[in-house]
A and B are shown apart, each in its own frame.
Chain A
Amino acid sequence: MIDKRVATLADAVAGVADGSTVLVGGFGNSGVPVELVHALLEQGAGDLTVVTNNAGSGESDVAALIRERRVRKIICSYPRSAGSVWFEKFWRAGEIELELVPQGTLSERMRAAGAGLGGFFTPTGADSLLAEGKEVRVLDGRRQVFERPLPADVALVKADRADRWGNLVYRTAARNFGPTMATAAALTVVQVREFVELGALDPEAVVTPGIFVDRVVQVAP
């Protein structure tokens, strides 16, 4: 019998090792798996490489991980937002490494990891500082930069509903990076608002099939 449901947030993040690369879903405050990130903070893993679009804001989620010195490196597209004070403080002090990636390339690098590709060429960023040190070729008449996949040890994702097989549906724009991140990690952990019976999700509308999911925990809204 397959049952990917776990009872507690602590169970959901159990075993995450120091030095892990962790994908964290969300765009701004939409779709951030806040409770899972806080559970990871509680769990204690450190020396993390965190991959996420923004670098957290205020005292919550990724910002809290940074504040508690658990993050060695952040890979993101837009670390500068209202309230990203902890990231900026550590960045100014040279105490956190930043790898800045164009947003579509960030997403596509995770897709490439999930799809088993060795990388891809894209015109995005090819003529910019972000192509420094990377192979650039002229393909189809355009300069294109070679980007490598971005695989991870763990993905933390927020969805709306799941069944015990880990099939997922999301809610509005909170979907954002979730479906791609779920494919790119060795361990994909999902928090949902609601569990439903197997067969209750419309198979035509499942967004992330359960094969990409390892653990699901319910977080009451």
Chain B
Amino acid sequence: MTAPRLSAVDVARRVARDIPDGSYVNLGIGLPTLVADVVGPDKEIVYHSENGVLGMGPAPAPGEEDPELINAGKQPVTLLPGGAFCHHTDAFVMMRGGHIDVSVLGAFQVAENGDLANWATDEAALPPAVGGAMDLAVGARQVLVVTTHTTRDGRPKLLPRCTYPLTAAAVVDRVYTDLAVLDVSPGGFVVREVAPGVTPEALQAVTGARLTFAPDLTVVRPD
């Protein structure tokens, strides 16, 4: 693979384009949080945090942090006008009860049937930790995954079947990587868009699952 990969911000921009105005959105920790920084000002998006914040705003200015007003990643945030606090059970009612329109999650692996593995690897040295990953994966109306196309050492993350422990089965709708945008369909991954300079053959070579290419395949426009 010699074509340059999309930057994390470019991938975030591409995800942001798919989030409709007026959506209630939960962004996972890591790559997904970048999406909030690049959503255009023409859209009003309500961000949800699992610890009871609805209408979450950006990080406060230095010196303005409130140690108790944090996001799921435990970083200081702000509350926008119109925002509200709720208790944990209600915050998870929003997630588990199908009230969140879009959940953007990171992943270790995604399978061609939409299975998601994003909470545990096969590493036994660290205690297991799950947080709200499983609740978000089963409860949101739409589950979008943002991930690098391969691991740091070049192994594919898009597979026929996940080898890591599952977070949830058959939940992923769309995957955005640094090489492509792919839909999960009943027939497996359908590539909708590829990064500039990436050929179908090159993409297939770094993907574990068999790919189908959409007849109207286009090049990713990050803006």
A77 in contact with B86 given A30-B70, A102-B135, A104-B95 (CB within 8 Å): no
- Per the bound structure, the CA–CA distance linking A30 and B135 in Å amounts to 21
- Contact, CB under 8 Å: A143 / B169: yes
**8 Å CB interface, B158-175 against A:** 165-169
Q: Kindly state whether residue A29 has any CB partner on chain B within 8 Å.
A: yes
- Contact, CB under 8 Å: B69 / A30: yes
- Contact, CB under 8 Å: B51 / A108: no
- Per the bound structure, the CA–CA distance linking A129 and B165 in Å amounts to 7
- Contact, CB under 8 Å: A128 / B95: no
Contacts of A172 in B (CB 8 A): 66, 68-69, 79, 85
| B-side interface size class | 35 or more
- Per the bound structure, the CA–CA distance linking A110 and B74 in Å amounts to 23
Closest residue of chain B to A25 (Cβ to Cβ) is B88
Per-position 1/0 for A120-135, Cβ under 8 A of B:
0011111111100000
Contacts of A123 in B (CB 8 A): 96, 138-139, 168
Q: Kindly state whether residue A79 has any CB partner on chain B within 8 Å.
A: yes
Cβ distance B13 to chain A, nearest Cβ, rounded Å: 29
**8 Å CB interface, A152-209 against B:** 170-180, 207
- Contact, CB under 8 Å: B66 / A178: no
Contacts of B61 in A (CB 8 A): none
**8 Å CB interface, B126-185 against A:** 126-135, 138-139, 165-169
- Per the bound structure, the CA–CA distance linking A88 and B124 in Å amounts to 12
- Contact, CB under 8 Å: A124 / B87: no
- Per the bound structure, the CA–CA distance linking A90 and B86 in Å amounts to 34
Cβ distance B60 to chain A, nearest Cβ, rounded Å: 12
- Per the bound structure, the CA–CA distance linking A91 and B85 in Å amounts to 34
- Contact, CB under 8 Å: B87 / A103: no
Cβ distance A111 to chain B, nearest Cβ, rounded Å: 5
Q: Kindly state whether residue A100 has any CB partner on chain B within 8 Å.
A: yes
- Per the bound structure, the CA–CA distance linking A31 and B88 in Å amounts to 12
Contacts of A146 in B (CB 8 A): none
**8 Å CB interface, A132-150 against B:** 142-143
- Per the bound structure, the CA–CA distance linking A172 and B83 in Å amounts to 11
Where the two chains meet, the residues of A that have a C-beta atom closer than 8 Å to any C-beta of B are: 27-31, 77-81, 87-88, 91, 98, 100-105, 107-108, 110-111, 122-130, 142-143, 170-180, 207
Q: Given A100-B128, A128-B119, output 14 extra A-B contacts at Cβ < 8 Å.
A: A30-B70, A98-B127, A102-B135, A103-B50, A123-B138, A124-B134, A125-B168, A127-B115, A129-B166, A172-B79, A172-B85, A173-B52, A174-B68, A177-B88
Q: 7 A-B residue contacts at CB 8 Å? A: A79-B127, A98-B127, A103-B50, A107-B88, A125-B168, A127-B169, A174-B68
Where the two chains meet, the residues of B that have a C-beta atom closer than 8 Å to any C-beta of A are: 49-53, 66-70, 74, 79, 85-89, 92, 95-96, 115, 119-120, 126-135, 138-139, 165-169
Top 4 A-B pairs, shortest CB-CB distance: A104-B92, A104-B135, A28-B74, A127-B169
